[in-house]
Amino acid sequence: MELIKPGININFVSKMRIFFYISIGLTIASILYLVLRGGPNLGIDFAGGTSLQIAFKQPTTVEKIRQTLDNINLGNSVIQQVGAKDKNEFLIRMEVTTHDLKAFTEKIDEAIAVAFGKDSFEVRRAEIVGPKAGKDLSRKGLFALCFSFVGMLIYISWRYEFRYALGGIIALIHDVIVTVGVFTLMGKEFTLTVIAALLTIVGFSINDTVVIFDRIRENVRKSSKKNLGEIMNASINQTLSRTILTSLTVVLVLVALFFFGGEVLHDFTVTLLIGVVFGTYSSVFIASPLVLVWESYRIAAKKKGK
């Protein structure tokens, strides 16, 4: 099956500068947004604290739940509705921690029962993470991302050349930063599930990029007299159908998971959807053209050295 007719010749290289500016703008905007808001919206996995997911049988509001919690002095809390509005489910995240989760949950149960009625709600989930554990998880999550980048850099440098590795890694960093920025802008919580999704995005994006790199290397061997820009353009066009079909297949699966996978997979799916879009974009418009930029710089440096 081919979405793109064989022999198509879109001049991607000529549009390289435009897409560089777009990507630089998106990356800077994402970093500025994260810095100005003090980082991503950390979930309980990283920030520490206690979270409860409660389903009410009758419609209620965030304000009424907050007023109920204020009556038992639980400190600052973040309350947000999750899932469809008709489900009346709310996620409550509190900064307080306790060694007795059962007793803590019972205390909240009693307060909610007084305000809403004894059988008017159900606690679906209760979790607690201490501040030290949260910091440890944050550090390990960051290390996992960094080590994945280093591993990819070493592998691509060995499998291809350093110029390919550099283009691939810069594209990956772009994908992760923009994905985190968009995810945070949507008001989503940054959890271990999101870290897993980011690592998945790294794998997906680099796989797409390596397919294009493989074709470039093959064409370089076949047409060594052509300049790298022409070869790169031809290679991207030759793999375009495969790139679009692969990404489209993944998106269809993720859309199905988004609607039918339940609340547990919601953030994971949203992160992957964002990452797949930007990962596909960067494989075509960022990674390969960066190789060309590096080669042009290297040739210019050689001429100056003479």
pLDDT in tens, 101-121: 677 778 888 888 888 887 888
Tokens of 136: 């440890």
Q: What is the predicted pLDDT for the residue at 134?
A: 59
pTM comes to 0.75
Beta bridge partners of 120: none
pLDDT of residue 286 exceeding 80, the answer is yes
**pLDDT tens string 63-103:** 888 888 777 776 667 777 776 666 788 887 776 666 666 77
Low-confidence winner among 2-11, 162-171, 235-244, 246-255 (lowest mean pLDDT):
2-11
Q: Which fold has domain 49-129?
A: Alpha-Beta Plaits (3.30.70)
Nearest to 255 by CA among 274, 238, 241: 274
Q: What is the predicted pLDDT for the residue at 129?
A: 67
Helix, strand, coil percent content, the chain, rounded in steps of 5: 70, 10, 20
Greater confidence, 298 or 213?
213
Strand, coil or helix: 42: strand
Where residue 117 falls (left for φ over 0; alpha for ψ -120 to 50; beta otherwise) is: left
Q: Burial letters for 224-240: b for 16+ Cβ neighbours within 10 Å, e otherwise?
A: eeeebbebbbbbbbbbb
Please give the share of the chain, as a percent, with pLDDT higher than 70. 85
Low-confidence winner among 29-33, 127-131, 183-187 (lowest mean pLDDT):
127-131
Q: What is the predicted pLDDT for the residue at 45?
A: 67
Quick one: 12 exposed, middle or buried, by C-beta within 10 A (0-12, 13-18, 19+)?
buried
Nearest to 66 by CA among 78, 53, 83, 51: 78
pLDDT of residue 131 exceeding 60, the answer is no
Q: Round to whole Å and give the CA distance between 306 and 287.
A: 30
pLDDT of residue 26 exceeding 80, the answer is yes
Q: pLDDT band for position 8 (50/70/90)?
A: confident
pLDDT of residue 163 exceeding 90, the answer is no
Query: Which residue pairs, CB below 8 angstroms and at least 24 apart, start in 116-121?
Result: 116/56, 116/58, 116/60, 116/68, 119/57, 120/56, 120/57, 120/58, 121/54, 121/55, 121/56, 121/57
Q: Which fold has domain 13-41+133-305?
A: Multidrug efflux transporter AcrB transmembrane fold (1.20.1640)
**pLDDT tens string 174-198:** 999 999 999 888 888 788 788 888 8
Cα separations in angstroms, 93 against 48, 50, 124, 276: 10, 6, 14, 29
Q: What is the predicted pLDDT for the residue at 168?
A: 84
Please give the share of the chain, as a percent, with pLDDT higher than 90. 13
Average pLDDT over residues 215-225: 81
Q: Round to whole Å and give the CA distance between 89 and 79.
A: 10
Q: pLDDT band for position 303 (50/70/90)?
A: low
Each domain of the chain, given as residue ranges in start order, spans 13-41+133-305, 49-129
Q: What is the predicted pLDDT for the residue at 132?
A: 60
